[in-house]
Amino acid sequence: MRLTQTQIDDFHREGWLFLPEVFTPEEVALLKREAEGIYAEHRPEVWREKNGAPRIAFAAHTYNEAFRCLGSHPRLVEPVEQIFGEKLYMHQFKINAKSAFTGDVWQWHQDYGTWKRDDGMPEPRAMNISVFLDEVMPINGALMLVPRSQNAGDLEAGHDRETTSYPLWTLDNDTVSKLVEQGGIVAPTGKAGGVLLFHGNLVHGSAGNITPYPRKIVYLTLNAVSNHIRKPTRPEFIAHTDFAPIEPVPDNALTELARGSFRQAAE
């Protein structure tokens, strides 16, 4: 899937781009079912909130067939390749739950802050491209972005190990306020199947979810191969060290898998 020049220009100016209805309801239903199965497992890749609800399932593309297809899907890989102009590898893969009633906050941060400090990534030539697995609404913990904040570069951050179950390099309130004065805040919302990509230095965060509506989002962090990490300190399932370029699967791979597993279930 190729982006238009207008979409590329929008991305470079605003630091983010939302593409509605990229994956079909059939593809999303398969991914959603598989995500729920993974959250029910007790394995080291599944991190929980302080209250025990699932928060993140890491690296599902390495142990689940549907997410293996999603991790190499041309509708995700090609737009990022187009922006960086080179082949990509998977730096990180996560399915964030933001569970109904219990999903916890993600404090204001820039992703590149963590990739640089914890993983030794040379440049912000990686980015998140995400797929909504549930409808993202203004009320269920939508991701909030500060448009154009990618231009502030890599900001000073503090390592917050207390607020949630997941350590994060976070920004202070003054820094966020100044950037918001200039760029405002947007919270892209939309049906399951929508795709959101954003620059590695774009400031973002999300509030807790106290609604009955879960908000699952899958994030592929795709890194330009030449920008591979130099000093990994985190477990392999959080920051991968397989720098082999991703070869996209056929565009219908997920649909075929959904139909195959449906046939299997019916037999």
* Chain residues that interact with ligand SIN, rule: CB under 6 A: 96, 98, 106, 143, 204, 206, 217
Instruction: Name the token pair of 182.
Output: 């200039």
- Specify the 3-state DSSP secondary structure of 192: coil
Q: Which is nearer to Mn ion, 111 or 134 (CB)?
A: 111
Q: Which is nearer to ligand SIN, 72 or 206 (CB)?
A: 206
Q: What minimum distance in Å lies between the beta carbon of 72 and Mn ion?
A: 22
Q: Compute the distance between CA of residue 76 and CA of residue 78 in angstroms, rounded to an integer.
A: 6
Q: Which is nearer to Mn ion, 111 or 119 (CB)?
A: 111
Q: What minimum distance in Å lies between the beta carbon of 208 and ligand SIN?
A: 10
Q: Which is nearer to ligand SIN, 71 or 249 (CB)?
A: 71
Could you say whether residue 111 binds Mn ion (CB under 5 A)?
A: yes
Could you say whether residue 118 binds Mn ion (CB under 5 A)?
A: no
Q: How many helices (H) and strands (E) does the chain have?
A: 7, 12
Q: What minimum distance in Å lies between the beta carbon of 6 and Mn ion?
A: 26
CB 78 within 8 A of CB 2: yes
Q: Where are the alpha helices (DSSP H) in the chain?
A: 5-14, 25-39, 65-71, 74-84, 111-119, 173-183, 253-266
Instruction: Name the token pair of 128.
Output: 């998140």
Could you say whether residue 34 binds Mn ion (CB under 5 A)?
A: no
Q: What minimum distance in Å lies between the beta carbon of 217 and ligand SIN?
A: 5
Q: Which does 143 bind (CB under 5 to 8 A by kind): Mn ion, ligand SIN, none?
A: ligand SIN
User: 3-class secondary structure for 121-171?
Assistant: CCCCCEEEEEEECCCECCCCCCEEECCCHHHHCCCCCEEECCCCCCCEEEC
Q: Which residue ranges make up the site for Mn ion (CB under 5 A)?
A: 111
